[in-house]
Chain A
Amino acid sequence: MKTLADLKKIREKAQEEMKLRGSDARIKIVVGMGTSGIAMGAREVMRTFLEEIANRNLTDVIVTQTGEKGLSSLEPVVDLMEEGKETVTYGNMTPDKVKKVVVEHIVNGRIVSDYVVSTGN
C-alpha cells in the first residue's frame, strides 16, 4: 500500500463487512421469522436475500428479521423499508420470488406488484 487511494480501497472493502453496524442503509429488508414463517420457508427466503445482495455487492441494504406478523396464510412475509417511502409488504415469498424482488425492486426501484400484500405502515 503506497497511497491514500490504496487505503481507501481497503477501507471500502472493510466497510462492506461492517455495514450491519452502520445506520446509513438505504433499504432494510425485514423477514418475518415466526414459527409459521419458518415452517413456510422463511429461512431459505432470508438466505436467498443475503446471497443475492452479496452477489450484487449491494452495500446499502441490510437484512434483518422480526417475529410473527399475524399473516400466517401469506407466510413467508417480507417487509421492504426504504427511507422516505412507504413500506412494501410481500407475501408467499420463495427463493425465486426473492431473486426477482432484488432485481426489480431493490436494484431498479420498481415494486413487484404481483407479490405485494399491502403497502403503507
Chain B
Amino acid sequence: MSLKRIDLLICCGSSCISAGALKIKEAFHRAIEDKGLTHEINIIETGCMGPCDYGPVLVIYPEGIFYKHVAIEDVEEIVSEHFIKGRPVTRLMLQDEEKTIRMQKEVPFYQKQIKVALENCGYINPESMDEYIATGGYEALGMALTTMDPQDAINIVKASGLRGRGGGGFPTHIKWQMVHDRQEKEKYIICNGDEGDPGAFMDRSLLEGDPHRVLEGMMIAAYSIGASQGFFYIRAEYPLAIKRIRQAIEQARSIGLMGQNIFGTDFCFEAEVRTGAGAFVCGEEMALIHSIEGERGNPTPKPPYPAVQGLWGKPTVVNNVETFANIPSIFVKGADWFANMGTETSKGTKVFALTGDVRNTGLVEVPMGITLRELIFEVGGGIINDRKFKAVQLGGPSGGCLTAEHLDVGVDYESLKARGAMMGSGGVIVMDERKCMVNVAKFFIEFCVEESCGKCSPCRIGLKQMHHIMERITSGNGREGDIDELLRLGESVRNLSLCGLGQTAPNPVLSTIRYFRDEYETHIRDKSCHANVCLDLMHFQIDKDRCIGCSLCSRKCPATCISGSREEKYTIHQVECIKCGNCFDVCPVKAIEKIPGVPEEVAAHKARKAAQKSDDLF
C-alpha cells in the first residue's frame, strides 16, 4: 500500500500535450524531487479531461482542485504553496464572473455532462491496468463469461437500446445477432478507430484515455458473436492511441485476460492493432475490411454485408470505438440504467468534440436529446467574444449545417436527420456570424473531392463538378441556375454513390442551400459576400474621416496600390489590390474597412477584359 497523500493528475490528452503538458510533468518530477516529496505525491498522466480550451489542466486530489492554463513557471509555486504549505494557488483557478472555482466538479463545463464512455478519461492513468480494474474494470467481462451465454449478452445490449456511435446509428444488437446466428466457426470482431472528420477527436481521446475499456467492450462483443480474433483499425496519425491499445492488450495478457480460457471458461481471444494510412474512406466498413486484408482500401457493394461475408469472407462485426466503450457500463450498471438516459429512439449518451467559435472547446459527453442550445451555450459556454451564433456543422463532411432556429432541437439520430444534418461520429463545429456559409460548404466539398477513392463515377466526377461550381460562385463568376445545378448534382451523387462517403458528401452543400440560400444568391447575383470571407466578392476601403494620413498602409502594401498624402489622406486603387489584408492589420486607427461586394471600377475593368478577350477570339 502506498504512502502518498496527493494524487496530481496531469491531463495528457493530445491537446494539453501540444500546450506543453509533458514539459510540465517533467518540471513537477524535478520540483518534487528537489523538495524531497517524491514518496508523498503521485504524479499521474491521464487521458483527455475534456476542457481543452483551458489546457494544460491539472486536477489535484484529495481535494479535487482544478488548475487551468498551467505554465512551466507555475510549477514551482504549486509545489511550494499548494503541496508544501497547503495553500492552493487561487490565481490558476477558473474565474467565473466574480467567483473563483476551486473544484473540478464545480466547473460549469462539466455541469450538464454525464460521463459513461468517458467515465475514466481524465481520472485514471490510462497506462495502468490496475487503475482501470480499481474502477470496476473487467468485471463486466467476467460476469458475461461466467454467468451468461452469448444470447443473454446480446439481449442485454438489445434492452439497452445502444446504437452504433460511428455515425449511422445502426442498432448494435442487430449486428451482433446476425453474426451470432451464423454457423461459421471463424468470425471476427473489428474496432473502427479510423476517425477522419475534420475537427473530430472523440475516438482518439477514448483510445488514449481509457484503452482497457474499449478492449473490454470488444471482448464482450467477441464472446457474444463467437469470435476469437479482434482487430483494432487505428490510423497511423494516432501513434499514442496505437501505443496505448497495444500496451493494454499486453497488460491484459499478463493476468490471463487475453489468450486461452479467459476467466477459466472456453472463451479464447486474441486482439491486434492494424494501422491505417489515414484515408478517410477507410472509415467505411467494407473499405476498412479490405485494408486489413492487405488490399487497397476501396468500398465494395453491400450486400453481402460484413455480418455475412466480412473479413476474409467470414462473418464480421465492425463497431465504433465509442460503441465498445459503452458496453462495460451497460453490463455493470444494467440495460435499464442506460435506456433511462436519452430519448425514445436514441438511448444513452454521446461524446462530442466541440470546436470552432465556441468558448469551451473540448471533449464532452452529454445525454442524447440535449438541445443544441444547451450543448453550445451551457456546456460550450457560448460564442467567443459574445458574437452572434450563425450555424453549427454536425457530423463533419458527411453532415450538415443547422441554424439559430434549430437551437432548441434535441440532439438525437432522427431529429438531426430530419433537418438535413446527422449525428455522425460526433464532430460539432460552431460558427459565428463572421463565417461565409458558401465558403464553409466549399471547404467540405474540397475535403471529399480529395478523399474520394475514385472507384465510382458519381462521387469521383460529381463531387469534382460540384466543387468547380462552388469555386466559380466564390470567385465572383457564379451564374444564374448554379444553385439548381448544385442541387441536381448533389441529389445524383447522393443517390448513385456506392458507399457512405459519396452518399453523404453533398450534405454540407445541400444543407447550406436549404438554410442559407440567400447567401448563395447574393454571391451569384450581387457578387457580394456579406461575411467578407470570399476575397473576390469584397474589397477594402479607407474611411477618409478616420484616416490620419500616417502612410503606414501605403508602406506595407506589397502591390503598391495605396497612394495619398497626409493632407489628402490615403486611397486604395481597387483594380490593383490583391486583398492581402496587410493594410487592414497595420492601420493604427482602424480606418480600413472590409466592404462586401465588388467595387465599380473592378467590375468595369473585368468587363473590359472580357470584351477584349472575345474580340481577340474573332
Is B264 in contact with A20, judged by CB distance below 8 angstroms? no
Most A CB contacts (10 A, CB to CB) among B3, B87, B124 go to B3
The answer, yes or no, to whether A63 is at the interface (CB within 8 Å) is: yes
Question: Using Cβ atoms and an 8 Å threshold, which residues of chain B touch A28?
Answer: 62
The answer, yes or no, to whether B495 is at the interface (CB within 8 Å) is: no
A4-27 interface (Cβ within 8 A of B): 4, 7, 10-11, 13-18, 20-21, 25
Q: Known interface pairs A4-B139, A4-B142. Does A62 touch B62 (Cβ–Cβ under 8 Å)?
A: yes
User: Which of the candidate stretches A64-72, A86-94, A97-105, A106-114 sits at the interface with the other chain?
Assistant: A64-72
Question: Using Cβ atoms and an 8 Å threshold, which residues of chain B touch A35?
Answer: 85
- Size category of the B interface is 35 or more
Q: How far is it, in angstroms, between the C-alpha of A2 and the C-alpha of B84 when the chains are bound?
A: 44
Is B130 in contact with A20, judged by CB distance below 8 angstroms? no
Most B CB contacts (10 A, CB to CB) among A1, A10, A21 go to A21
For residue A19, give the distance in angstroms from its CB to the closest CB of chain B: 9
Is B264 in contact with A3, judged by CB distance below 8 angstroms? yes
Question: Using Cβ atoms and an 8 Å threshold, which residues of chain B touch A1?
Answer: 255-257, 263
Is B3 in contact with A15, judged by CB distance below 8 angstroms? no
Q: How far is it, in angstroms, between the C-alpha of A33 and the C-alpha of B37 when the chains are bound?
A: 14
Is B61 in contact with A2, judged by CB distance below 8 angstroms? no
Is B130 in contact with A2, judged by CB distance below 8 angstroms? no
The answer, yes or no, to whether A74 is at the interface (CB within 8 Å) is: no
Closest to A58 in B: B1
Closest to A18 in B: B134
The answer, yes or no, to whether B415 is at the interface (CB within 8 Å) is: no
Is A15 in contact with B134, judged by CB distance below 8 angstroms? yes
Q: Known interface pairs A17-B2, A21-B61. Does A3 touch B146 (Cβ–Cβ under 8 Å)?
A: yes
Most B CB contacts (10 A, CB to CB) among A14, A64, A66 go to A14
Q: How far is it, in angstroms, between the C-alpha of A67 and the C-alpha of B4 when the chains are bound?
A: 19
Q: How far is it, in angstroms, between the C-alpha of A38 and the C-alpha of B35 when the chains are bound?
A: 13
- Size category of the A interface is 35 or more
The answer, yes or no, to whether B7 is at the interface (CB within 8 Å) is: yes
For residue B356, give the distance in angstroms from its CB to the closest CB of chain A: 33
Question: Using Cβ atoms and an 8 Å threshold, which residues of chain B touch A46?
Answer: 5, 40
Q: How far is it, in angstroms, between the C-alpha of A16 and the C-alpha of B133 when the chains are bound?
A: 12
Question: Using Cβ atoms and an 8 Å threshold, which residues of chain B touch A7?
Answer: 133, 138-139, 142
Question: Using Cβ atoms and an 8 Å threshold, which residues of chain B touch A63?
Answer: 5
Question: Using Cβ atoms and an 8 Å threshold, which residues of chain B touch A50?
Answer: 3-5, 40
Is A17 in contact with B130, judged by CB distance below 8 angstroms? yes
The answer, yes or no, to whether B123 is at the interface (CB within 8 Å) is: yes
Contact of A20 among B5, B87, B142, B263 (CB under 8 A): B5
Contact of B86 among A11, A51, A57, A66 (CB under 8 A): A66
Question: Using Cβ atoms and an 8 Å threshold, which residues of chain A touch B2?
Answer: 16-17, 54
Contact of B134 among A17, A33, A54 (CB under 8 A): A17
Question: Using Cβ atoms and an 8 Å threshold, which residues of chain A touch B134?
Answer: 11, 14-15, 17-18
Q: How far is it, in angstroms, between the C-alpha of A62 and the C-alpha of B62 when the chains are bound?
A: 8
Q: How far is it, in angstroms, between the C-alpha of A25 and the C-alpha of B468 when the chains are bound?
A: 65
The answer, yes or no, to whether B414 is at the interface (CB within 8 Å) is: no
Is A16 in contact with B1, judged by CB distance below 8 angstroms? yes
Is A64 in contact with B257, judged by CB distance below 8 angstroms? no
Is B5 in contact with A4, judged by CB distance below 8 angstroms? no
Question: Using Cβ atoms and an 8 Å threshold, which residues of chain B touch A34?
Answer: 85-86
Q: How far is it, in angstroms, between the C-alpha of A10 and the C-alpha of B129 when the chains are bound?
A: 10
Q: How far is it, in angstroms, between the C-alpha of A39 and the C-alpha of B216 when the chains are bound?
A: 51
Is B133 in contact with A14, judged by CB distance below 8 angstroms? yes
For residue A83, give the distance in angstroms from its CB to the closest CB of chain B: 14
Q: How far is it, in angstroms, between the C-alpha of A62 and the C-alpha of B143 when the chains are bound?
A: 32
Closest to A10 in B: B133
Is A14 in contact with B130, judged by CB distance below 8 angstroms? yes
Question: Using Cβ atoms and an 8 Å threshold, which residues of chain A touch B133?
Answer: 7, 10-11, 14
Question: Using Cβ atoms and an 8 Å threshold, which residues of chain B touch A54?
Answer: 1-3
Question: Using Cβ atoms and an 8 Å threshold, which residues of chain A touch B601?
Answer: none
Binary interface encoding of chain B residues 84-124 relative to chain A, with 1 for a CB under 8 A from any of its CBs, else 0 = 11110000000000000000000000000000000000011
Q: How far is it, in angstroms, between the C-alpha of A48 and the C-alpha of B3 when the chains are bound?
A: 10
For residue A43, give the distance in angstroms from its CB to the closest CB of chain B: 8
Is B3 in contact with A33, judged by CB distance below 8 angstroms? no
Closest to B264 in A: A2
Q: Known interface pairs A3-B263, A33-B85, A62-B62. Does A13 touch B130 (Cβ–Cβ under 8 Å)?
A: yes
Q: How far is it, in angstroms, between the C-alpha of A21 and the C-alpha of B61 when the chains are bound?
A: 6
Question: Using Cβ atoms and an 8 Å threshold, which residues of chain A touch B61?
Answer: 20-21
Q: How far is it, in angstroms, between the C-alpha of A35 and the C-alpha of B61 when the chains are bound?
A: 22
Question: Using Cβ atoms and an 8 Å threshold, which residues of chain A touch B85?
Answer: 33-35, 38, 65, 67
Question: Using Cβ atoms and an 8 Å threshold, which residues of chain A touch B9?
Answer: 21
The answer, yes or no, to whether B498 is at the interface (CB within 8 Å) is: no
Q: How far is it, in angstroms, between the C-alpha of A54 and the C-alpha of B5 when the chains are bound?
A: 11
The answer, yes or no, to whether B293 is at the interface (CB within 8 Å) is: no
Question: Using Cβ atoms and an 8 Å threshold, which residues of chain A touch B5?
Answer: 20, 46, 50, 62-65
Closest to A11 in B: B133
Contact of A51 among B3, B257, B263 (CB under 8 A): B3
Q: How far is it, in angstroms, between the C-alpha of A57 and the C-alpha of B3 when the chains are bound?
A: 10
Question: Using Cβ atoms and an 8 Å threshold, which residues of chain A touch B84?
Answer: 33, 38
CB<8 Å pairs between A and B, sample of 6: A3-B142, A4-B139, A10-B133, A47-B40, A62-B5, A64-B5
A-B interface, 4 closest residue pairs, ranked by CB to CB distance from nearest: A14-B134, A65-B86, A14-B130, A2-B264
